[in-house]
Structures are given as structure tokens and as C-alpha cells.
Amino acid sequence: MNKAPRNSVPRPGPTRQAPCAPSGRRPGFTLIELLTVIMIITMLVGIALPSLLELRKQFMRTESLSYIRQIQGGIGLYYADFGPKDPNSTQGYPPSSASVAGSAFSGWQGREILCFLLLGYADDAGNDGGPNLSNFTQDDGFNGPGFRLAQGGQVYGPYVSERLPRRYETEHSRSRFVFVDAFDNPFHYYLSIPYSVPPQYSSGDDDYGPGTGGKGSFDKYAKKPPGFTEFYRRDFILCSPGPDHEWGFKTDGNPDPTSDDITNFLKEAN
């Protein structure tokens, strides 16, 4: 019998190689897997989106309430310049009626008068033909915001920041600046009739406000429930219809306390 030498090494047999993926191609998701992922993402977005939209709406309402507080502060500063020292009178506040404001404001609405009196002129360039309070064919003759009751007189205003949101109200054939909320609704303004006891407001001071279109009554809008006989405020009312752009009334015509209207007479604004 032949014996293998001690130092001999066994010869390796043939080996199998793992199959290689075709050149240039990588393993990936199948079509079903991709469709499943897309479906899951769509479902998650659908669940989260209403909550995100509600959070955004609440943030914008809070922002709008801060605008109302700034306007109220501006009205207080205006009153400090022009108001009588009589707590029972609203004389000296920016008027909401064109008949009270003067003939120069003929045809103006309360929201337009308020914006002009709190801001005055824009940062104009001297005598550029803009209006002044006594003659709307002339400028007050000076650069800068605010206004003067006479050429070269004392500067009044501005009583609010020029950054407070406002826009030209082009609806209803108008072209004047008004303050707006975060939803681009104009803030409507109503001043209580001076020395009226109890307070009285006129819906005619500012058109397209609460009660427009026969839905509800302006006379009840800013009054306390359940009897709706007493106004929340004795001086002035600021309000906008809020996110839904509709004034807050129930089907029976009474004010809706759950409305999303933005006002200065509810606790959230104070």
C-alpha cells in the first residue's frame, strides 16, 4: 500500500461563488412597499392637518386681539390730547360718525376715520398735495407721520405703530386705509354717543358691521346676556367677524357667545 508523504497538502476542491447582483442595480423597495408608505404618510397628514389648522387659527386670533389692544391704547393716547376731563363723556375720542368728525370726513365710515386719526399721514415728503384735517386738498407741509391742525402747528400722533396691519379697503367702492385683523377683516369702530345714559351706539356710523344683511341685530350685538339690555362697554366698540368672516349671531338673532368674532368687549381682549 502506498502511503502519502507526511508533508503533502491536500489539494483544494472547486469552490462555489455567490451569485452577484447585475451590474449597476441595487436592491430597493417594491411597488407595493412604496404604495404602503405613501398611504401611511397620507393618513398621518390627514390626522394631523385639522389640528395644525386649528392651532394656526388660534394663533391668528391671539394676534388679532393684540392688534385690538394696540388700537385701544392709541385711542387712549388720542383722548389724552383731545379729551375733556369728564369720565361721563366720550367727547375727545376719535369720532365714528362723519357728521361729528366734520365736513372734511363726509362719506367716511367709522373704521376709516379711526385709522386716519390714529395714524395721521404716512411718512410723506413735505407738501405733496395730501390731505389735512381742515382742508383735504392740502398737505400739512411737513415730513413724517402724524398730522398738524394748522400749517406749522403742533404735531399730533401717530398714536399707534405704523406697523399695525392696515390696508386699502377696496370693497364697497372704497379706497381708504382701515385697520385689519390677522384674517384681513377690517376692524369696525363705533363710539358711544357723548353723554348718552345709558350708552347708545349707532350702527350707521360704520357700515357692513354686526347685523348686516338682517342676520341678528346690532343693538344686541355688544350687550350682555341673558336680557341684552346693557352694553359691555360705555365708551367704544371694536369688532371684526374673525376667521369665518361671518358676524356671530344665532339663528334666533341673538349674539352667539361661542362665536369666533374678535372684539374689545369680551374678557379675552382685556
Q: Quick check: is 114 in a domain?
A: yes
Question: Looking at per-residue confidence, does 92 or 133 come out higher?
Answer: 92
Q: Quick check: is 26 in a domain?
A: no
Q: Quick check: is 146 in a domain?
A: no
The tens digit of pLDDT for each residue in 188-228 reads 999 998 767 788 898 889 999 998 876 788 888 888 888 88
Q: Quick check: is 196 in a domain?
A: yes
pTM of the model: 0.75
The tally of domains found in the chain comes to: 1
Find the helix or strand (DSSP H, E) in which 144 lies.
Answer: strand 144-148
- Average pLDDT across the chain, whole number: 79
User: Band of the pLDDT at 46, cuts 50, 70, 90?
Assistant: confident
At 51, is the secondary structure helix, strand, or coil?
helix
The 10 Å Cβ neighbour count of residue 67 is: 21
pLDDT reported for residue 76: 92
Question: Looking at per-residue confidence, does 148 or 134 come out higher?
Answer: 148
C-alpha–C-alpha distance, residues 209 and 186, integer Å: 10
- CA-to-CA dists, residue 18 to 23, 27, 210, angstroms: 14, 16, 80
Give the pLDDT mean for 13-24.
Answer: 57
Could you tell me the residue range of the domain that residue 80 belongs to? 54-120+157-269
Q: Quick check: is 98 in a domain?
A: yes
Q: Quick check: is 177 in a domain?
A: yes
Q: Quick check: is 70 in a domain?
A: yes
C-alpha–C-alpha distance, residues 188 and 170, integer Å: 15
Question: Looking at per-residue confidence, does 140 or 247 come out higher?
Answer: 247
pLDDT reported for residue 5: 57
Q: Quick check: is 231 in a domain?
A: yes
